[in-house]
């Protein structure tokens, strides 16, 4: 009877995996690519496959690597712009939303940008030969040598490669990345080769994408892009590449010397000297000096408005960021700066001003999208209205809004919304009073900005294999007229009765231009290397955004206009747009094979990630267990990871297994299962569901779950339902989880009866621009927990607090104390800041008369160490004084410590 009940409960928990599945993914493929997509997305998949096949020879030549079939997944995430490569699991995911602005929007096609970028990652990282190839074939994909390279090197070839397809595409051709590097170079702030691989607070805009892309463009321009395959031949065939995170010079210096004739450090310094020596024209009259990110500069009613983003460093690996809409009143006469809107999301389609009303945008999570990545959640845009006098705000409309504008009388909004596949734009008129939305046009292009002008819409829009051009749509007869049409990206900034102000990168530098609507003449505004969001005040003063080493600031240098002739270049589409059901050939010659879900299962079953041997000693140092650990994954994220270990105990001559599986197949339920036959055996199952996900302030997340943990040969069976929630406000955040702990001696019996509660609360609050308070509270009433540990220890004590009722709290005030922000190359270690912490912890009993049984206070000095290109570590010293009048110095390692007590010389290790 016992075994029957045991088996029944296991079947109930595992049953979802045995039920027939309703699968919504299909696939198309050729010998080099397999594209997975949701039903209805076949046209998008065909065009992605065509793009990848067209650029495949380019990527193979760039990296020197021809791969087998690589799986891609198209994910509809709403207006999230992204993509990623998993070289260990052999998978590429591309998010379907083409960006409407920013550095990623410079490109003739989104599949071209994101697909090629990620495919270059896969080709470069999986380039392998010689002894490493033998090791990888035996032990799995974790042994690709090019996994172990600096972050800037991983992104260098992709950023350069996306920009090398043609001069109209990619971040190195968009004006933004080169200008960031130029601004840093002119103030001698380019990083060391070590610092470039880590995210430092010294750089508000620059990162390893910027530094790596610029460095590789210099190498390609100086030595030729044909040297990159030589470089990767070396790094992919050297056993020393595995040691790069520890001692970078073992492989990398020799690899660069073989490819380029100089060692890596010398090449890096040559690049920095080249950037410093570049002639440059920069503005000199800033009216803001706080740097960071700024955009959408607009002049309205004697004030400048712009959107901004900044992050303030407040503690060890901790910071607070905010998106704001700022107003600067009377900028020419002692400007006063104030925050009009502060929010947790970007302003995805900017803002508009009319009279005393502000119309601004924000993002929000909604259900109903075709993706596995976020379990069907995606991001939409909300348009809100705020009265600048009263300060009252209201939400007007939510949707897949790509751009919007307001009519002169304030009665209606004009909206550009994406169709279901982010392929076309649907134009609407939204009546603010009646809240009615009327369709006015469907365009076979994406409209990325809208501006209303006397019964017309002036817009930036891009067609198939085209950058943004400027168009005029007459709202009377809906005639569409091209105003500016070149291979380069043109983005409208503002319109007036006589002219259109727009941005472009015609001469490698980002500048502002004016189009005279009557004569059609083009003028260039100013001659600085970077000018954005140009606007003119009522008194004729001009303002614009420009870059410096701290980020973007508002400048007021006088700018003059000069006639400008548009480039006469033409960019012809290399291939035609495909449509499902009509087109059966890729590039008019390659056939397409259709498939289903089975390939995903086939991919999952092979342990491509890891196939490592296991050797475990006993207490005497003798080998006791031998075996192998295997790990794999699927493509679609239904089974993101499984791990299996087969172990042989030499003493007992018995085999044992350990299995774990992450199961996301029955979304929105997420399940983690694990089983072990070692020892007396154990089984663990956890099911959870996300009940609410929000991006804006207030309640952020609500989740619930239910778990079972067995141990001690299944004599212990702990059931634990739980509920969690998180909150966010302007300068703080909190999360709380409550769980019931239940065991019974009746049905499927445990060895005890237990009904208890445990809860945890975490709060982080910003205190000023460079300080935070971090509080953690643990509460419990779990009287039957027995020997189970209910509370973790507080600082200042080495012995655990063995209570099952009560409260513990840990409060710490942190602030960065000493800036280091430099590192060493060999071994590869980077230290950002040393932070000061003042703490006070306590433990209160849960008796009828609660007692503060323990307390301790003290000081911490914590260094923010990063190493091996990826790992981070809090490393420092702590001194605590507790209720027992003992002074306890500690070594802080991450969140653990190695404590020793002065006086009795007793040392205790906690790992």
For 181-246, give the DSSP string. Answer: HHHHHHTT-PPPTTGGGS--TT-SS--HHHHHHHHHHHHHHHH-GGGHHHHHHHHTT-GGGGGTTT
| Per-residue model confidence (pLDDT) at position 682 | 92
The pLDDT of residue 74? 98
User: Is the pLDDT at 906 greater than 70, yes or no?
Assistant: no
pLDDT at 905 over 80: no
Both tokens of 778, joined, read: 């643990």
Burial track 101-139 (b if 16+ CB lie within 10 A, e otherwise): bebbbbbbbbbbbbbbbbbbbbbbbbbbeeebbebbeee
In 3D, which of 426, 577, 442, 449 has the Cα closest to residue 503? 449
pTM given for the model? 0.94
At 291-317, the pLDDT tens digits run 999 999 999 999 999 999 999 999 999
Closest to 236 in 3D by CA, of 353, 132, 89: 132
Q: Are residues 109 and 422 in contact, defined by beta-carbon separation less than 8 angstroms?
A: no
* Chain segment 867-882, per-residue pLDDT in tens: 988 888 999 999 999 9
The pLDDT value recorded for residue 581 is 86
The rounded distance, in Å, linking the Cα atoms of 311 and 58 is 39
Question: How many Å from the N-terminal Cα to the C-terminal Cα in the chain?
Answer: 42
Q: What is the largest CA-CA distance in the chain?
A: 92
Nearest to 35 by CA among 20, 51, 23, 12: 51
Element (H, E) at 277: helix 264-277
Burial 406-440 (b: 16+ CB within 10 A, else e): bbeeeebbbbbbbeeebbbbbbbbbebeeeeeeee
pLDDT value for 582: 84
- According to DSSP H, which parts of 476-567 are helical? none
Distance, in Å, from the CA atom of 227 to the CA atom of 257, rounded to the nearest integer, reads 11
- The crossing angle, in degrees rounded to 10, of helices 208-223 and 151-163 is 60
Is a pLDDT exceeding 90 seen at residue 14? no
Q: Are 430 and 451 in contact (CB under 8 A)?
A: no
Peptide bond preceding 378: is omega within 30 degrees of 0, i.e. cis? no
The CA-atom distances, in angstroms, between 863 and each of 214, 556, 892 are 30, 41, 9
CA proximity to 733, closest of 707, 694, 703, 791: 694
CB 397 within 8 A of CB 410: no
pLDDT of residue 908: 25
Predicted confidence at residue 619, as pLDDT, reads 83
Work out the burial of residue 734: count CB atoms within 10 Å of its CB; fewer than 13 is exposed, 13-18 middle, 19 or more buried.
middle
The answer, yes or no, to whether the previous bond of 247 is cis (omega within 30 of 0) is no
Q: In b/e form, how buried is each residue of 37-54, taking b as 16+ CB within 10 angstroms?
A: bbeebbbbbbbbbbbbbb
Q: Bigger pLDDT: 641 or 18? A: 641
Could you give the CA distance from residue 412 to residue 440 in angstroms, rounded to a whole number? 13
Q: Average per-residue pLDDT in the chain? A: 93
Q: Which residue has the tokens 């007459």?
A: 474
Distance of CA 294 to the CA centre of its chain: 20
Answer yes or no: are the C-beta atoms of 96 and 109 closer than 8 Å: no
8 A C-beta contact, residue 841 and residue 811: yes
pLDDT (tens digit per residue) in 740-799 = 999 999 988 999 999 999 999 999 999 999 999 999 999 999 999 988 999 999 999 999
| Whole-number Å distance between alpha carbons of 163 and 216 | 11
Left, alpha or beta for 492 (phi > 0: left; psi -120 to 50: alpha)? beta
pLDDT tens-digit series, residues 475-485? 999 999 999 99
Contacts of 627 (CB under 8 A, 6+ apart): 613, 614, 645, 646, 647, 648
Instruction: Give the closest residue to 373 by CA, choosing from 726, 97, 779.
Output: 97
What average pLDDT does range 21-41 have in this prediction?
88
pLDDT of 23 reads 62
Residue 904's pLDDT is what? 30
Q: What is the pLDDT of residues 791-848, one digit of tens each?
A: 999 999 999 999 999 999 999 999 999 999 999 999 999 999 999 999 999 999 998 8
* Backbone phi, psi, residue 359, to 5°: -115, 115
- Strand-pairing partners, residue 291, are none
Give the rounded percent of residues in the chain with a pLDDT score beyond 90: 87
| Token digits of residue 623 | 């080998």
Contact between 634 and 73 under an 8 Å Cβ cutoff? The reply is no
**pLDDT one-digit tens code per residue, 112-157:** 999 999 999 999 999 999 999 999 999 999 999 999 999 999 999 9
Per-residue model confidence (pLDDT) at position 907: 26
Total Cβ atoms within 10 A of residue 480? 15
- The C-alpha atoms of residue 788 and residue 751 are separated, in whole angstroms, by 13
Confidence tier at 225 by pLDDT (50, 70, 90): very high
Residue 27, pLDDT above cutoff 70:
yes
CA–CA dist 530, 458 (Å, integer): 24
Please give the Cα distance from 546 to 527 (Å, whole number).
Answer: 12
């Amino acid at each position: 009877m016992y075994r029957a009940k045991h088996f029944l409960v296991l079947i109930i928990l595992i049953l979802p995996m045995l039920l027939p599945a309703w699968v919504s993914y299909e696939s198309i493929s050729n010998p080099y690519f397999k594209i997975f997509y949701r039903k209805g997305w076949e046209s998008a998949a065909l065009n992605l496959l065509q793009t990848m096949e067209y650029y495949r020879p380019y990527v193979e030549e760039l990296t020197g690597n021809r791969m087998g079939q690589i799986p891609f997944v198209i994910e509809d995430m709403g207006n999230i712009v992204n993509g990623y490569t998993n070289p260990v699991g052999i998978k590429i995911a591309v998010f379907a939303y083409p960006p409407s602005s920013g550095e990623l929007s410079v490109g003739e096609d989104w599949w071209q940008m994101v697909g090629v970028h990620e495919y270059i990652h896969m080709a470069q990282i999986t380039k392998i030969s010689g002894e490493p190839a033998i090791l990888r074939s035996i032990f799995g994909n974790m042994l690709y040598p090019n996994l172990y390279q600096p972050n800037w090197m991983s992104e260098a070839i992709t950023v350069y490669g996306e920009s090398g397809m043609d001069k109209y595409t990619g971040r190195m051709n968009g004006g933004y990345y080169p200008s960031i590097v130029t601004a840093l170079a002119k103030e001698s702030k380019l990083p060391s080769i070590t610092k470039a691989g880590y995210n430092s607070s010294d750089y508000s805009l620059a990162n390893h994408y910027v530094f790596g892309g610029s460095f590789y463009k210099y190498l390609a321009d100086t030595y030729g892009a044909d040297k990159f395959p030589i470089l990767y031949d070396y790094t992919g065939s050297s056993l020393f590449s595995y040691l790069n995170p520890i001692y970078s010079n073992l492989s990398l210096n020799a690899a660069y010397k073989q490819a380029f004739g100089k060692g890596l450090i010398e090449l890096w310094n040559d690049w920095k000297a080249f950037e410093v020596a570049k002639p440059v024209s920069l503005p000199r009259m800033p009216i803001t000096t706080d740097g960071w990110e700024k955009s959408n500069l607009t002049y309205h009613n004697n004030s400048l408005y712009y959107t901004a983003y900044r992050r303030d460093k407040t503690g060890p690996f901790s910071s607070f960021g905010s998106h704001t809409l700022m107003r600067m009143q009377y900028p020419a006469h002692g400007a006063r700066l104030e925050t009009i809107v502060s929010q947790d999301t970007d302003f995805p389609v900017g803002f508009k001003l009319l009279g005393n009303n502000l119309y601004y945008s924000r993002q929000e999570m909604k259900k109903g999208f075709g993706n596995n990545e976020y379990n069907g959640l995606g991001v939409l845009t909300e348009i809100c209205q705020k009265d600048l006098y009263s300060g009252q705000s209201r939400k007007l409309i939510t949707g897949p809004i790509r751009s919007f504008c307001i009519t002169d009388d304030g009665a209606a909004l004009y909206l550009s919304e994406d169709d279901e596949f982010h392929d076309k734009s649907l134009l609407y008129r939204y009546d603010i009073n009646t809240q009615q939305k009327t369709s006015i046009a469907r365009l076979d292009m994406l409209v990325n900005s809208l501006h209303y002008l006397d019964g017309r819409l002036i817009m930036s829009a891009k067609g198939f294999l085209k950058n943004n051009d400027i168009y005029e749509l007459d709202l009377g007869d809906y005639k569409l007229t091209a105003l500016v049409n070149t291979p380069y990206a043109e983005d409208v900034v503002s319109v007036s009765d006589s002219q259109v102000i727009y941005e472009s990168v015609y001469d490698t530098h980002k500048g502002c231009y004016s189009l005279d609507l009557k004569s059609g003449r083009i003028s260039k505004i100013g001659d600085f290397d970077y000018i954005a969001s140009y606007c003119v005040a009522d008194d004729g003063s001009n303002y614009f955004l420009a870059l410096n080493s701290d980020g973007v600031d508002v400048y007021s240098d006088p700018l003059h206009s000069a006639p400008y002739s548009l480039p006469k270049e033409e960019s012809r589409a290399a291939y035609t747009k495909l449509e499902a059901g009509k087109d059966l050939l890729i590039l008019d010659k390659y056939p397409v094979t259709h498939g289903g879900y089975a390939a995903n299962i086939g991919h999952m079953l092979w342990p491509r990630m890891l196939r490592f041997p296991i050797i475990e000693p006993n207490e005497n140092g003798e080998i006791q267990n031998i075996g192998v650990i295997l790990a794999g994954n699927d493509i679609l994220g239904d089974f993101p990871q499984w791990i299996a270990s087969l172990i042989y105990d030499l003493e007992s001559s018995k085999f044992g297994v350990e299995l774990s599986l992450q199961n996301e197949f029955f979304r929105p339920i997420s399940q983690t299962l694990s089983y072990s036959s070692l020892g007396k055996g154990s089984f663990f199952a956890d099911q959870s569901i996300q009940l609410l996900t929000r991006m804006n302030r207030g309640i952020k997340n609500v989740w619930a779950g239910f778990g079972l943990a067995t141990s001690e040969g299944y004599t212990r069976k702990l059931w634990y339902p739980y509920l969690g929630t998180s909150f966010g406000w302007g300068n703080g955040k909190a999360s709380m989880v409550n769980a019931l702990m239940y065991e019974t001696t009746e049905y499927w019996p445990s060895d005890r009866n237990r009904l208890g509660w445990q809860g945890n609360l975490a709060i982080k609050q910003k205190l000023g621009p460079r300080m935070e308070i971090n509080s953690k509270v643990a509460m419990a009433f779990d009287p039957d927990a027995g020997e189970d540990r209910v509370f973790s220890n507080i600082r200042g004590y080495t012995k655990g607090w063995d209570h099952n009722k009560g409260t513990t709290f840990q409060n710490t005030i942190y602030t960065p104390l000493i800036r280091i922000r430099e590192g060493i190359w060999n071994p590869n270690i980077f230290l950002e800041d040393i932070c000061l912490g003042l703490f006070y912890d306590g433990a209160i009993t849960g008796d009828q008369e609660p007692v503060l049984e323990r307390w301790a206070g003290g000081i911490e000095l914590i260094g923010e160490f990063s190493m091996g290109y990826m790992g981070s570590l809090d490393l420092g010293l702590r001194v605590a004084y507790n209720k027992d009048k003992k002074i306890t110095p500690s070594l802080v390692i991450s969140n653990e410590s190695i404590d020793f007590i002065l006086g009795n010389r007793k040392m205790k290790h906690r790992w």
